[in-house]
Amino acid sequence: MASREFLKTMKEARSGDVFSQQKLGEIYLNGEFNTPIQPANALIWLEKAFKAYQSQGLLEKMDLVVGSILKLNLPDILNSPSADFAWACFFKAADRGDIHAQWQIGKTLIEIDSDNSAYVLVEEIISRARPESNLREIAVSYLENVSKSNVDFSKEALNLLDEKRPLPEKMELFWSQWISNRNRDALYAAAELGYAPAQLALGLQLAKLDSGNISVLSQEAVDKSDAELTGASLKKAVQWLTLAAKQGDRNAWYNLALIYRRPQFSGYNAEESDRCFDQAADLGHPQAQFRKGSLLWRKRARASQSLSEEIPELKASYWVWQAAQQQVPEAIEILPKMLGRYPDPSANEWHDLASMAKLALDKGSQIRLPADWVPLCHRIIVANQFSLTKTEMLLVRISEMQHEHCVVVDIREFVPKAHYRLIQIDTLEQRKSLLLASKIFSGDIYEHDHLNLIDEGNLRQRRYRFDKLSEWLKENFSA
């Protein structure tokens, strides 16, 4: 039986007393005076109170009514005649950043996705409140915001999104939770779904190597962690880092190499560490590239004694050069010890003669330049670009000089006691001179012109031809 207090409030509310209308709505909302909780009835009376306060301009009272409305569970009032009013209040609060309102809207829209009748009803309501809005987009937007907040239902919001999202979106969502809130549950979820950055971050966390930069660790950061490594889950760290590495993450390979070198790791393996460093270097990790290059540089003396025809300094300088391109300070410092540099051809002794040779090639068809002088002109131009000696200029195999980062000046085939030199390619002009000369010495141009490749002869013959060409160039093209 209804209490006397409830009946009195009901009578006054029906007579138009706004305070009683608000009170009656709260009674139905909270189940006061042993009254059954009736959300739909609560909403009707709260709407009446809100509109009455609105007509009187009582903003504070209006806010109190809205606060009560926000306690409602949206699915419970879908069929209420005041449903439009309730949704409008929730949307207004959500737009102001109210997390609870965002949670209610997002949760309701996601959950009714499988209920056709409820979906149609809500779609009609929202179409009046938010024309041209997409229910799923609204739900996802609000739930993402809720999941990033440190509230009781943040994890539930994540789970709801997890159920509805495609796999790539799920991984990015969990990853964003880790980035914004350092939510370890989200990190584990993203890693378990196969997201490589999360697997890398989790591996570093377990190894206690997380220095705040999850993409790459400095050697100093690793050294500082020595005291903490004893209790680290290094085996689990290696498992997660291996998963990330298999997806091509160069930072995972690099940090795997560091762990395999740690004395505290029961699976210590120097060979496996070197293999991981090599993988990281191949994928472009700057520190791994420098390490590989510097290691090859230290071993060059031993490598030069082997039967291999490879030049050990070539591979070493390549990796250090790659690291220097990525601004590794140590690589920039050591590279000049590996490679000579001559970026300014005007400072080289062949500059004047090379300028004349270039003019002769440009006017070759007009002055009937002898065919056996054409390769020699290109030799002079290349010699100027890389400051070669006269003997190197005449004997080096031009078509075999160029490598990605440098040229190899090697005339040991003709002069056994000579030592090869490595010179860095710095300028576009250097590459252009090599390209044109290489076409000549590979026979491409001659084949195109239906001519035979010129036999340059021995060193004595080349010197004689060079002297003749030099005299002719100075007679015809000197300023």
Claim to verify: residue 349 and residue 471 sit in the same structural domain: yes
Dump the DSSP string for 408-419. EE--TTT-TT--
**Range(s) of the domain holding residue 47:** 1-72
Residue 446: what pLDDT? 44
Q: Residue 400 and residue 272: Cα distance in Å, rounded?
A: 35
Domain annotation covers residue 417: yes
* CA R_g for the chain: 39
Within 8 A by CB and 6+ apart from 24, the residues are: 9, 10, 13, 45
Q: Residue 426 and residue 44: Cα distance in Å, rounded?
A: 80
Among candidate residues 338, 355, 386, the one where a domain is terminated: 338
Domain annotation covers residue 134: no
Among candidate residues 306, 338, 370, the one where a domain is terminated: 338
Domain annotation covers residue 373: yes
Q: Strand pairing partners for 409? A: 421
Claim to verify: residue 406 and residue 331 sit in the same structural domain: no
Claim to verify: residue 378 and residue 470 sit in the same structural domain: yes
Query: Do the beta carbons of residue 302 and residue 342 sit within 8 Å?
Result: no
- For the chain, what is the mean pLDDT? 81
Number of domains in the chain: 3
Q: Residue 427 and residue 8: Cα distance in Å, rounded?
A: 94
Q: Residue 51 and residue 45: Cα distance in Å, rounded?
A: 10
Compute mean pLDDT per 10 residues along the chain, 479 residues long, and list them.
Answer: 75 84 82 81 85 85 84 79 81 84 80 67 72 70 80 79 70 81 85 90 83 44 46 81 93 93 87 93 93 88 56 89 93 92 89 90 76 88 92 89 90 87 92 89 53 70 90 82
Claim to verify: residue 382 and residue 466 sit in the same structural domain: yes
Query: Do the beta carbons of residue 132 and residue 99 sit within 8 Å?
Result: no
Residue 86: what pLDDT? 82
Domain annotation covers residue 5: yes
Single pTM value for the model: 0.60
Question: Which residue spans within 358-433 are E strands per DSSP?
Answer: 406-409, 421-424
Among candidate residues 43, 72, 101, the one where a domain is terminated: 72
Domain annotation covers residue 440: yes
Q: Report the candidate in 157, 170, 150 with the shortest Cα–Cα distance to residue 107.
A: 157
Claim to verify: residue 307 and residue 409 sit in the same structural domain: no
Claim to verify: residue 447 and residue 325 sit in the same structural domain: no
Query: Do the beta carbons of residue 42 and residue 83 sit within 8 Å?
Result: no
Domain annotation covers residue 173: no
Claim to verify: residue 303 and residue 405 sit in the same structural domain: no
Q: What is the pLDDT of residues 288-300, one digit of tens each?
A: 999 999 988 888 7
Q: Report the candidate in 98, 72, 96 with the shortest Cα–Cα distance to residue 87.
A: 72
Q: Residue 171 and residue 195: Cα distance in Å, rounded?
A: 6
